[in-house]
Amino acid sequence: MKQFQNLFEVLEYQPTCPLCKSRVMPVAANLNYDENRVIATLTIGNITLVVDCHTNKVLQYSESSNLHQIYTIGSQIAYQVPTGNYNLLKGNNMFRLNMICDKCSKYGYLTQIHVDGGEYQVTGLFLNSESLSVEDGTKLYEIKNVYAVDKTELSIFHQHLSSQRGALDKIEFPLVPLDLQNPMKTIERIKNLIAFL
């Protein structure tokens, strides 16, 4: 599993989508940069961490309440469900930072963020998984490399059937490297492996 030295490396691991060349952005986390130094404000669930991107030092920590908010829209009631309930505890805490293409959403990666709550320091940054979706005719191939367990998952969606049933085929392999420059090469490599199953 790839380990990053600091949060800046995580944010710049794959800054653009290999398919559409748009910016890869965080999901369920807000990033802000200070003019004097590179800091990031990560809002994950009800926890907000302000982290120096180069030193991994947690500069500020805050926790908001986890109240359910109810909105009435016409005659229907809509609920705002919280994204997660976290508490920064002394010792090791693990959070996730999901980065996805902000245009096509066909590429993304997930990073584990380990924070020592007693020292207020990010102690580990690991590439947990990376995913890519490639269309080929009426099929959509979703490839997910799960580096935490060294495996590749392939889900195949058929355009005319998947809207009713979801993925028709899901196969797991030992880890197959992603070719981000030519994703169809990865698909072809996996198709060749299917013959040996």
Is 70 exceeded by the pLDDT of residue 51? Answer: yes
Q: Measuring CA to CA, how many Å separate 189 from each of 29, 58, 158, 175?
A: 34, 42, 20, 12
Q: Which amino acid is at 134?
A: V
Please give the span between the terminal C-alpha atoms of the chain, in angstroms, as a whole number: 25
Provide the 10 A C-beta neighbour count for residue 174.
Answer: 8
The C-alpha torsion from 152 through 153 and 154 to 160, rounded to 10°, is -160
Residue 132: pLDDT band by 50, 70, 90 thresholds?
Answer: very high
Q: What is the DSSP letter of 57?
A: B
Residue 72: pLDDT band by 50, 70, 90 thresholds?
Answer: very low
Is 50 exceeded by the pLDDT of residue 133? Answer: yes
CB 64 within 8 A of CB 86: no
| pLDDT mean over 60-82 | 56
**Can you give the residue ranges of every domain in the chain?**
1-130, 137-197
pLDDT at position 74: 46
- Of 148, 123, 179, the C-alpha closest to 4 is 123
Model confidence pLDDT, tens digit, residues 54-64:
899 998 888 87
CB 108 within 8 A of CB 24: yes
Query: Higher model confidence: residue 4 or residue 138?
Result: 4
Is 70 exceeded by the pLDDT of residue 164? Answer: no
